[in-house]
Structure 1
């Protein structure tokens, strides 16, 4: 990319019009998301916010998005382009909508379904509205072949000139245990597309198509310039990092992501050579998903205030060898690509950046989505229902603040399933959702805390699938910070006894953390403990009063305060200054 391309010479819009255009593209996507969330039928969309919306120009370049699931956004243009290969732009007409969810055609995992609609203004193609949402129970099974993961749609006409393909809808509904959600969610996504179309047409009608197109071009150049300047602030060099999924569910071997960031001037080359080969289990990440994870992982530190559009992509070169688990060949299964693989790409990249910008990097999050899907039979009607949840963990400490408690991994801005919604819709009880003491990694700025979730099955239940990790070792700290806690999956039987079913038990025995087909009797509970974030900086550099406050708030135990921070507390949980000074001095002497 030459300097000429990203110069201000091509900018012709005045600052006010430019800002109206930039904000207009963002508002378009915000309105799309409002429509989708308010009109959808399934809780994973309207409560858990597992969806994303975006608008693209006529060349399928991202020009605007909402802050929904980052892992969706940078993969959506691959889906849109795959759709246009099957249905070329010149053959499209107003009211057309193309649907696909095939992971090997620009998708992520099969439950994420992408709808693409052209936007025409007086017969002129201006761009595309694109909506991706997680549909309930469309592709949920752990398998060694992608065919076992459920319905896979190649690019298909869902709507032709405004007419819904009812035969295709019937096929989709026939492939799920929750057909009551599907048609409503389809209509909600279509409503989001029409809302996006209407807002772009509003801008075109007010400013004209030439100004609109110029605005699209200039927001991309604006972000490119900001990204280039941000990369220039990173010292030139080669920086390496790794992270891993604890297992793929079929062997006990960790599956490793390796990355080398090569920074030179205003460009970054992301090289994932050396990552493990594709695996049997369903954690393989197709090209589009891995590329998306790379983009959003870097965006955190490449001027996060810049408009989120395809301008950031222009300065990043990517190498991912084919046949690795981060660029697998068909028919490798991919169900856990968004939920397991993406977080490990982020972990590896942030580990590498810790060598490049240690004073700006954030310690590792709990680095998981912990997405689980379960079925439960109503004890009265015997109707089998399906629900999902995303029990979050802690984020890592930062150079300025402690990590956030119980916050979704960077891959998404999703939320956990509210207990009130869960108990209203399904024959289950949420018996616990509580923060875990001593789960946060110690540091000058400690990590955020994890959580304990306990779901009781009123009827016969089953964990259909769960992808997790960090069960062998917690999230690492940065710049001397300590590890967060490990994650664990358990069953509580009717008598109250806990049994480890994934992760490390009390005897030190480790069990694979990829769950599938785990049965629960009525009255038994699934218990999950999420991990805390890693700490940032030497724990002995933490202000003793902050440690005492954490103890009073139940974030840190009194014993951990002494062991990890060297802080001794008196009976009223205030700092014993003399004992603390002595203990820290003794530790430094060792």
Structure 2
């Protein structure tokens, strides 16, 4: 069962309950017991639920065979009508990705104990983090710009997670130049965040920090500039963090600020020239015990700026001499040995 992150405008706690049963050559995924339809536009149709449920099962069992009916037929998805996972008209569904993008993670969680080598740690960009800007230029022309920004990809048994890779919907980041050209705004910063990837034997991909500002129109102010910013709302210590797997730690970082003040993770407001919006997207979850990560890999991460010297020691038990940028092998061994000793 998963209690999902708080969703703006939805007063009730949203629960997605799932039970996976393997019988013969079939797999049944049952969502009975999930929350009923809600009054905000996050309800999912059955087709949406089935798609994002079958997808992670396909990835775990055989990711290389193209989708086909024979491969999907053995997967049965049970989603009671009238629930948030199988809504009925006229229940609103426009923001359904706020729920459906989390289904793969919930399915992977049920498979972790029996197929650990096939699952991914959680993704810092799920559900999708999106910015919508619309309004008018000083000459009266209207504009609409949509920018999607991704958090860190979750690590797996074989690889570190990629930085800022979109999952599960597999869309690309829109170049900043395109968004700046379409809308009356500019990016102040768009950068990877050190130590945001969940520590693990394989590290989660890094998240990012983004800040944009509305242009001052000079003698002519931009008119009717409005912004909708939607973030996942997942925090490291919240009810539904960016989970690590098999001893890996959670991804880190999530937040939204407007003109320096923290706000809810979903906003819709009119923006004035000079207004600034900053948001932080989480890194992906780590996979496996971070104290089993090879010291030379940790050193390489520090050299790349992915992990800080302090993070190497605290999260991975690797002591790095900052003067020479080399691993202190003896200090690392002592630190890791102490960490493995049972608490008295």
| Fold conserved between structures, TM > 0.5 | yes
TM-score (norm 2): 0.90
Paired position in structure 2 for 1:419: 176
Q: Report Cα offsets for 1:198-256 as digits up to 9, x if no partner.
A: xxxxxxxxxxxxxxxxxxxxxxxxxxxxxxxxxxxxxxxxxxxx444312312455422
Determine if the alignment matches structure 1 residue 397 to structure 2 residue 159: no
Structure richer in helix, relative to its length: 1
Contact 1:243 1:344 in 2 (8 A): no
Deviation at 1:384, TM superposition (A): 3.6
Deviation at 1:395, TM superposition (A): 1.3
Deviation at 1:404, TM superposition (A): 1.2
Deviation at 1:469, TM superposition (A): 3.1
Determine if the alignment matches structure 1 residue 484 to structure 2 residue 251: yes
Contact 1:450 1:532 in 2 (8 A): yes
Question: Structure 2: which 5+ runs fail to align?
Answer: 216-221
Which among 301, 304, 314 is matched to residue 550 of structure 1? 301
Give the 3-state SS of the residue equivalent to 2:301 in structure 1. Answer: helix
Paired position in structure 2 for 1:580: 332
Q: Report Cα offsets for 1:353-383 as digits up to 9, x if no partner.
A: 11220122221112221123222432x2244
Which among 479, 482, 499 is matched to residue 261 of structure 2? 499
Tell me which stretches of 4 or more aligned residues in structure 1 moved more than 3 Å. 242-245, 251-254, 471-474
Deviation at 1:534, TM superposition (A): 0.6
Matched ranges for 1:112-123 at <5 A: none
Cα separation, partners in 2 of 1:243 and 1:335, compared to 1, 3 Å: same
CA distance in 1, matches of 2:73, 2:105: 23
Paired position in structure 2 for 1:406: 164
TM-score (norm 1): 0.54
CA distance in 2, matches of 1:569, 1:319: 52
Contact 2:108 2:120 in 1 (8 A): yes
Paired position in structure 1 for 2:187: 430
Determine if the alignment matches structure 1 residue 246 to structure 2 residue 5: yes
Determine if the alignment matches structure 1 residue 462 to structure 2 residue 246: no
Q: Which has the higher contact order (CA 8 A, sep 6+)?
A: 2
Q: Report Cα offsets for 1:473-517 as digits up to 9, x if no partner.
A: 5311110000001321222x3xxxx22112xxxxxxxxxx233x2
CA distance in 1, matches of 2:192, 2:38: 34
Cα separation, partners in 2 of 1:244 and 1:406, compared to 1, 3 Å: farther
Count of aligned positions: 330
Paired position in structure 1 for 2:104: 346
Greater Rg, structure 1 or structure 2?
1
Question: Structure 1: which 5+ runs fail to align?
Answer: 1-241, 503-512
Paired position in structure 2 for 1:539: 290
Determine if the alignment matches structure 1 residue 518 to structure 2 residue 280: no
Matched ranges for 1:58-77 at <5 A: none
Contact 1:389 1:416 in 2 (8 A): yes
Q: Report Cα offsets for 1:250-280 as digits up to 9, x if no partner.
A: 2455422221110123110011112222222
Give the 3-state SS of the residue equivalent to 1:346 in structure 2. Answer: helix
Paired position in structure 2 for 1:279: 38
Determine if the alignment matches structure 1 residue 444 to structure 2 residue 207: no
Deviation at 1:563, TM superposition (A): 1.1
Determine if the alignment matches structure 1 residue 259 to structure 2 residue 18: yes
Contact 1:244 1:344 in 2 (8 A): no
Determine if the alignment matches structure 1 residue 387 to structure 2 residue 154: no
RMSD value, Cα: 1.8
Contact 1:248 1:282 in 2 (8 A): no
